[in-house]
């Protein structure tokens, strides 16, 4: 049973998340041969004030 975690900054719509889960599931089934029913996709929204690069919070950019 493949488990996939996608971490991304908050702000995507439910429609975008549905599409992401669909495409990730397709990619996993095509590359591993696992059935779609066995693929589990987790989406972790990261708050912009909890993530940063280049020494700066994303919420400050």
Residues acting as catalytic residues:
2
Q: What is the 3-state secondary structure (H, E, C) of 20-43?
A: HHHHHHHHHHHHHCCCHHHCEEEE
44, β-bridge pairs: 7
Q: Tell me, what DSSP letter sits at residue 48? A: G
């Amino acid at each position: 049973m493949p488990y996939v975690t996608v971490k991304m900054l908050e702000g995507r719509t439910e429609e975008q998340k549905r599409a992401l889960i669909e495409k990730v599931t397709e990619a996993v089934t095509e590359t591993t041969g696992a059935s779609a029913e066995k693929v589990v996709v987790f989406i972790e929204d990261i708050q912009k004030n909890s993530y940063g690069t280049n020494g700066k919070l994303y919420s400050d950019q």
